[in-house]
Structure 1
Amino acid sequence: MSTIFSERMAACDLETARKAASLVKIEYEELPAALTFEEALAGKNLAEGENPILDEATFDFGTLPREPYSVVETSSELSRLHHATMETHACVADYDLYADFLTIYSPNQAVHGIRTVVADFLEMPYSHVRVVKSTMGGSFGAKQEWFLEPVAALAARQLRRPVKLVYRREDAMLSTVIRGAFRGTLQGLYSPEGRILGFNVELLADAGAYFGNTGDYVRAFYGKFFRLYKVEYMHYHVRVVGTNTPASGAFRSWSAAEAVTMIEHNVNQAAVRLGLDPIDMRLRSVLRPGDMDLKLNLPVEEYRAAEAIARGRERFRWDEKIAADRAFNDSNRRYRRGVGIGCGGHGNTYLPRHQDFAAAELRLNEDGSVQAHISLHDHGCGTVQAFRMILAEALEVRPEDILLGEADTAHTPFDYGCFASRTTFVVGGAAYGCAQKLREVMTANAAEITGIPPEDFYIEHAVIRCRSNPDVSFTYGQIALQSTLKLRREVFAQYQHHNTTNPGVMGVGLAHVEVDTFTGMTRILDYLAVHDIGQAINPALCVAQIQGGVQMGCGAALHEKMTVDKKGRTTASLSKYHLCLCPDMPDIEVELIQDGRSKEGPYGAKSIGEVCYVPCAAAVCAAVNNALGSNIGMVPMDPPVILKALERGK
């Protein structure tokens, strides 16, 4: 029998839970609440003597340029966002009293992290807590932290029976984390010909009801300025306030999309001010192959940003659309069209901020199939299949010959989890390295069995062959069987991968929109995404991942926001939280630039999971501003924002 939770009450059945919940009486005192930046800065929700600034940091990089420059200042404000995963937060905890063993099944991003939290919380040995990554219906950072697992684990241990805890949409929106609100002023420093020389940044961030990881988030924000452009000067000042709203937390790209939306708005307004084409401006300042990310002090390697931008201009027919829009706008009173570009970069690993590594284990079965143990956290984007393809390519077998599941603390090696877009680049590096090691074990065993020197053996089409004697060969199944019978050991390989690089990965978004000036509604007519991701392991899945990121970014640009009314009631339903749905979107074209391969990723692969989202809102917002000839920095650019801007323009 499982345990039912109702209104935070645990019972053996739903009727009992509801009855118990109805008996709970709560007394509370209403205190003043701060719901906006202004109210938080005024200390409306603080006791006497408390500081409204929860955290503050200043970073300076380089020196002010000596050459002449223009200063272009823009202001931006980004709303709170909900992750809007198809599946809400859920988990099942099962406690075995006789073995004192706890098993947790959870769609999450870090099984070993959850094991640590739960075991420490319940004061249990790590070996007595097993966390299994279950099938996940999306995360985008929402399931990076642990909200349900400790509660369900405690209840299961106390009640000595399985416990299932599932959040409603309202719970997920109010009681987990959101992307916090940001307000920023950027001063871009530009040379007369339009090169980016540096930035002065003043940022205000809302942590919500709890400080959480906001301090880390806003510090990561600073580093995003160096992932695309040659930024040689930077002054960055950030302040964090707390409001009585849902707590901020991890959100897809860990501040990169927010930073890029603000940066690209400044670059586009600078292009208007200087009378330059926004694409030409970007080509003057983007990082090139062999350049350094000056913040990380690491080379970006074979970075194809310029190629992606130029290719995007050609395929999108940028110049043709500008001419056509000019004619359309001159002849139309109600609708206005415009184009926009957004560019953004990202990383592939924690390095160099934290040392990163991953591990993999492979076993060869007697029928030639392979059992793989790797700690994977598939968010529903095909990670497991991509890893089957990496292993199959390296071992020259079919993907279906690879038995591979997801992370399980009882069976798969330690791993930090699915953060920082590290899975393909770092964990994939471990998988590829382990496959190479398994090949070495197979040829070494063939040499030992036959007495022929190991350098005489090689592998071709999943057969171990001998150069000096073509009659000697082993299939994978034969070498596995002979190794157990004659050498008394299985064909097994273990490999731990320590990456030393973090190359550049980037994306370009080009959007074409039509704005209804009577209603403020915006329709996306065309969208092209061009991405430098290195070698695409599964191109079809990469395209689908990018298309999903674009749709998510378009929602952030035009519709999505969690509002708070004067009584502090926050958006708590998808009926009030407006997403971009498939009928709202055009056919999203995608082009992959695959010649900018990494040195350490498997087959030259880099990351895709977060960078596909980074430039999207910036591109759509740029197109809206281009259509209206406006300088709107409020995001999302929903009808009230657009109509207000049009009224100001009049």
Structure 2
Amino acid sequence: MKLIGKDKPIHDARGKAAGFVKYAGDVTLPNMAYIALVHSTIPHGCVKEVRTERALGVPGVYGVFHCFNTTARTYNRYRSNFAQNLPGEERVFTDYVRFVGDRVAAVAACDQETADKAARLVEVTYEELPFSIGFDDTLSGRNCLAGERPVRDEFFTEIGTQPDDDGLIEVTTVSEMPRLHHATMEPHACVVDCDPYQQQLTVYSPNQAVHGIRLVLADFLEMPYHRVRVVKTTMGGSFGAKQEWFLEPAAALIAKTLGRPVKLVYSREEAMVCSVVRGAMRGEVRSKFKPDGTLISLSMDVLLDAGAYIGNAADYIRALSGKPFRCYRIPYFRFCGRVISSNTPVSGAFRSWSAAEEAIMMERNFDEAARQLGIERIELRLKNVLLSGEADRKSGVPLENIRVRDALEQGRTSFRWDELVQADRAFNESSPRYRRGVGVGCGGHGNTYYPRFNDYGEGRLGLNEDGTVQATLTLHDHGCGTVTAMRMIIAEVLDIPDTSVYLAEGDTAVTPVDYGCFASRTTFVLGRTAYDAATALRDEILDRTAELFSLTRGSLRLENGAVRCRDDECVNITLEQLAQASMLKLKRNVCAQAQFNNTSNPGVTGVHFAHVEVDTWTGFTKVLDYLAVQDIGQPINPAMCAAQIQGAAQMGCGAALREKMTIGKDGRCTESLSKYHLFLATDLPDIRVLLLSDGRSEEGPFGAKSIGEISYVPAAPAVCGAVNDALESALGTLPYDPDCILKYLAEERDS
């Protein structure tokens, strides 16, 4: 292959490096109004009065919008396709606030400074209600209104036959994970342009589902779908933060009311508090093993705090129940999931969609089981991981050529696991201050919605007059190179340079209806769609050439941007010549369309290894070495895959060692990066990456599988396992930050 498997920069790398690329916050339109939101200052209560006189008196203010002068219609921020039957949970501006940061009002003004100034003058009177901020006070019903239950949703599933306990060793572990901020470089932003004469709204937004936003806005504003256009703008990162809708409904309502364009951009504080977070979770895992280490049964009881609104929590916790089956062989499985709603920031999508949390719980249990059984940690995993040819027991879908066992074995050798274990033991015996340890984390994920939804994609390609290719797919590039990967797939099939393919991102006025960038489906589903569309265009090119020269398709080949005859060297026509000849002589464009619906969801897995050093005097942990082994099938753009994995490792280290959003006794959440301790690139060693490409998929383009979410799944478990190995501990509450470690060491000394 000429392009597939080769390193390529992302399509807008030069523009970003030069500061030329435009983000949503850079969009400026004539006659634009700027919006500043007024957020609730209490965690739970009713709005009794909103006084706007002082704000309206500021020169340049176009209007103040609040719960008493706007629609009471509701919408669901999580809804992204028409088939989701979800109740409306939120008003754009609410009179019943559920957390500090809930939207109460907004000011629209001639510039941002004026809007911010006027917003500070809006006076809101509340009737305060009892509130809850944690698992226990929420379960007690502290914040429940009359008729409400603390548990808002409950899910139970059981797979297999419960075994006889005779001779089995039971291992129980409890893990607790805090809220996490997505920490995208670009905050949430959107611009909505209103044409009152055409009754048209155009929304510019960095998002993961242009058609999802169109659906929600059109239904909420009672507009026909074709009157709402949503354009995906350049995105500065998402990790799930930009796949739910809370800016767009507010901005669209104000734009339609004023009849002018508006811009709404969140501050970092608003992005942390008022958007979505990874929800707090507590989980108990009870496993039963044979003495030889064979896993016989697994039970999980998981509690998810959805925050102020349920949002995606019901789906999120159900998805978690299927994630163990993407990596391990589990004869009997029992799962109970409960969702509670506290007066805290709303939980939402986060990279891996619960697989990372499942892996933290699962891998902690495996480490403890290895200790109790006296079996080496990697050996215990090797005994229980899924093998090629096995199926996902929950969905029944074959996992095809899954390579998690190879990832464990090759990683063990490349990481020098056995040598490090011995070296760390000697080091720890001689060091009075530092402790070293190694950890391993395994995880699995999917590549598509299938079989939950019958996933599909649509693509259209055509030749321009100069022989370049115009491609249309509904893509949502997060900044990681999706556009480049799709161009490479198309160009490989057509045997042309990838620079000869034009491909923009999602635009509901131009690109076909699509689910969006969820479930790691882009490369697997849309990549295959691009492949099929390119194959159809290649066939069309050969057919049009055959028609022009009175030949058969089989006698022709497409090579290096030209069509040649296998038997007649005189037949040699470039794509530019063909496009023009088809228009002039055949009176038709050279174009093709393809729709692809997958019927598989192969296993995609990762195994990460971490070596850490814990300072027992300060509680700080240093990551000494890190290796990520990923089973992803054929990498389309290996450099892009490596970058995804390295970023995921950095996120995982942060989740394991530093990051948490805390809620104060007044209900206020962490609202500044100065108090939310991110793991920086300078804190890490070189992240080594090993790609296993022999476990190729049957349906993915060129055998590719997914990478974006699976690369995050094993990261935190590997680091947590290394810390517990270093301290000979069984820490269960993340993050393992200095406070956590020093508290544990103090308790050990006291005991």
Q: Give the structure-2-normalised TM-score.
A: 0.85
Q: Quick one: distance in 2 between partners of 1:68 and 1:493?
A: 63
Alignment partner, residue 618 of structure 1: 717
Q: How many residues were matched structurally?
A: 650
Which of residues 476, 480, 499 is equivalent to 1:400?
Answer: 499
Matched, 1:262 2:292: no
Amino acid at match of 2:654: G
What is the letter of the counterpart of residue 357 of structure 1?
Answer: Y
Q: CA offset at residue 15 of structure 1?
A: 5.7
Contact 2:36 2:264 in 1 (8 A): no
Amino acid of the structure 2 residue aligned with 1:26: V
1:27 is aligned, of 122, 125, 129, to 125
Offset from partner CA, 1:594-646 (integer Å, 9 cap, x none): 01000111000000010010000000000000000001111111111111222
- Give the equivalent residue in structure 2 for 1:476: 575
- 1:118 Cα deviation from its structure 2 partner: 1.1
For 1:607 and 1:22, the matched residues in 2 are separated by 46
Q: Distance in 2 between matches of 1:99 and 1:357?
A: 33
> Residue 255 of structure 2 aligns with which residue?
156
Partner AA of 1:441 in structure 2: E
Match of 1:141 in 2: 240
Q: CA deviation at 1:116?
A: 1.0
CA distance in 1, matches of 2:409, 2:617: 35
The answer as to 2:35 corresponding to 1:5 is yes
1:636 lines up with 2:735 in the alignment: yes
Preserved CA contact (<8 Å) 2:663 2:669: yes
Distance 1:536 1:47 in 2: 52
| Equivalent position to 1:123, from 209, 222, 227 | 222
Where in structure 2 are the equivalents of 1:574-589 lying within 5 Å? 574-589=673-688
Q: Distance in 1 between matches of 2:546 and 2:159?
A: 57
Equivalent-residue separation in structure 2 for 1:316 and 1:262 (angstroms): 24
Distance 1:372 1:49, change over 3 A: closer
- Larger displacement relative to structure 2 (461-470 or 140-149): 461-470
| 1:53 maps to 2:83 | no
CA shift digits 1:255-306 (9 cap, x unpaired)? 0000000000000110111111111111111111111111110111111111
**C-alpha distance 318-15 of structure 1, shift in aligned 2 (>3 A):** closer
- Amino acid of the structure 2 residue aligned with 1:436: T
Query: For the structure 1 residues 457 and 523, does the alpha-carbon distance in structure 2 shift closer, same or farther, using more than 3 Å as the test?
Result: same
Task: Report deviation, 1:18.
Answer: 4.6
The alpha carbon displacement at 1:47 in A equals 2.9
Partners of 1:16 and 1:273 lie apart in 2 by 64
More deviation, 256-265/268-277: 268-277
* Match runs of 1:591-602 below 5 Å: 591-602=690-701
Q: SS of 1:609's equivalent?
A: coil
In structure 2, the CA distance between the partners of 1:207 and 1:484, relative to structure 1 (3 Å rule), is same
Residues 299 and 14 from structure 1, CA distance in 2 versus in 1: closer, same or farther, beyond 3 angstroms?
Answer: closer
In structure 1, the partner of 2:23 is none
Identical counterparts, % of pairs: 57
Give the corresponding residue for 2:92. Answer: none
Contact conserved, 2:239 with 2:350, CA < 8 A, in 1? yes
Match of 2:351 among 221, 246, 252: 252
Larger mean CA deviation between 311-320 and 205-214 belongs to 205-214
> Structure 1 CA distance, aligned partners of 2:405 and 2:116?
61
Moved more, 13-22 or 306-315: 13-22
Q: What letter matches 1:177 in structure 2?
A: V
Give the CA RMSD over aligned residues: 1.2
Measure the CA separation in 2 of the matches of 1:307 and 1:65.
30
Q: Structure 2 counterpart of 1:335, which letter?
A: Y
1:16 shift after superposition: 4.7
Amino acid in the other structure paired with 1:69: L
2:302 partner amino acid = L
The residue correspondences of 1:226-245 to structure 2 (distance < 5 A) are 226-245=325-344
The alignment status of 1:191 with 2:191, answered yes or no, reads no
Once the 2 structures are TM-superposed, how far is the Cα of residue 24 of structure 1 from its aligned partner? 2.5
Letter paired with 2:228: V
Change (3 A) 1:484 1:378: same
The whole-number CA distance in structure 2 between the counterparts of 1:308 and 1:568 is: 44
Q: Secondary structure at the residue paired with 1:103?
A: strand
The unaligned stretches of length 5 or more in structure 2 are 1-30, 38-105
Rounded to whole Å, the distance in 1 between the matches of 2:167 and 2:397 is: 29
Q: Which amino acid aligns with 1:243?
A: S
SS in 1 for 2:322: helix
Which of residues 549, 553, 559 is equivalent to 2:652?
553
| Alpha-carbon offset, residue 14 of structure 1 | 4.3
Q: In the aligned structure 1, how far is the partner of 2:471 from the partner of 2:111?
A: 40
Between the aligned partners of 2:742 and 2:117, the Cα distance in structure 1 is: 50
Q: In the alignment, which of 77, 100, 108 is matched to residue 176 of structure 2?
A: 77
Residue type of the alignment partner of 1:148: L
CA distance in 2 between partners of 1:539 and 1:582 (Å): 20
Distance change (3 Å), C-alpha of 1:12 and 1:557: same
Q: Which moved more, 1:230-239 or 1:536-545?
A: 230-239
What's the offset of the Cα at 1:439? 0.7
Q: In the alignment, which residue of structure 1 is the partner of 2:553?
A: 454
Residue 312 (structure 1) shift: 0.3
3-state SS in 2 of match to 1:184: strand
Look up the match of 1:44: 142
Match of 1:645 in 2: 744
Tell me whether 492-501 or 186-195 shows the greater mean CA deviation.
186-195
Distance 1:15 1:639, change over 3 A: closer
Q: Which residue of 2 is the match for residue 511 of structure 1?
A: 610
C-alpha distance in 1, partners of 2:405/2:113? 63
Q: Structure 1 residue 165: deviation in Å?
A: 0.5
- Which of 141, 165, 181 is residue 264 of structure 2 equivalent to? 165
Q: Write the distance in 2 (CA, Å) between the matches of 1:647 and 1:385.
A: 52
Other structure's SS at 1:259 match: helix
Bigger shift: 357-366 or 342-351?
Answer: 357-366
Q: SS of the residue aligned with 1:298?
A: coil
1:111-168 deviations in Å (ceiling 9; x for gaps): 0111111112222221121111000000010000111112112222222221111001
Q: Which residue of 1 aligns with 2:190?
A: 91
Specify every segment of 5 or more residues in structure 1 that has no aligned partner in the other structure, as ranges.
none
- Give SS of 1:276's match: coil
Letter in 1 for 2:725: N
Kindly state the Cα deviation for residue 513 of structure 1 after the two structures are TM-superposed. 0.3
Displacement after TM superposition at 1:13 (Å): 3.4
Deviations 1:59-94 (A, max 9, x none): 111012347321111110001111110011001111
**Secondary structure at 1:523 match in 2:** strand
Is 1:535 equivalent to 2:634 in the alignment?
yes
User: 1:420: which partner in 2?
Assistant: 519
Q: Separation in 2 of the partners of 1:238 and 1:494?
A: 43
SS at match of 2:215: helix
CA–CA separation in structure 2 for the residues paired with 1:14 and 1:82: 25
Distance 1:166 1:609, change over 3 A: same
Secondary structure of 1:124's counterpart equals coil
User: Aligned to 1:27, what secondary structure does the other structure show?
Assistant: strand
Q: CA deviation at 1:360?
A: 0.6
Aligned amino acid, residue 162 of structure 2? L
CA distance in 2, matches of 1:171, 1:113: 23
Letter aligned with residue 9 of structure 1: V
Correspondence for 2:12: none
Amino acid at match of 1:348: N
The amino acid across from 1:630 in the alignment is S
Structure 1 residues 119 and 285, CA gap change in structure 2 (3 angstroms): same
Residues 1:523 and 2:622 aligned together:
yes
CA distance in 2, matches of 1:585, 1:462: 45
Per-residue CA distance 1:357-396 (angstroms, 9 max, x = gap): 0011101122221011111100000111111111111110
> Quick check: 597-606 or 112-121, which moved more?
112-121
What are the superposed Cα offsets for residues 579-608 of structure 1, whole Å, 9 maximum, x if unpaired? 000111111000000010001110000000
* 1:382 matches 2:481: yes
Q: 1:608 aligns with which of 691, 707, 713?
A: 707
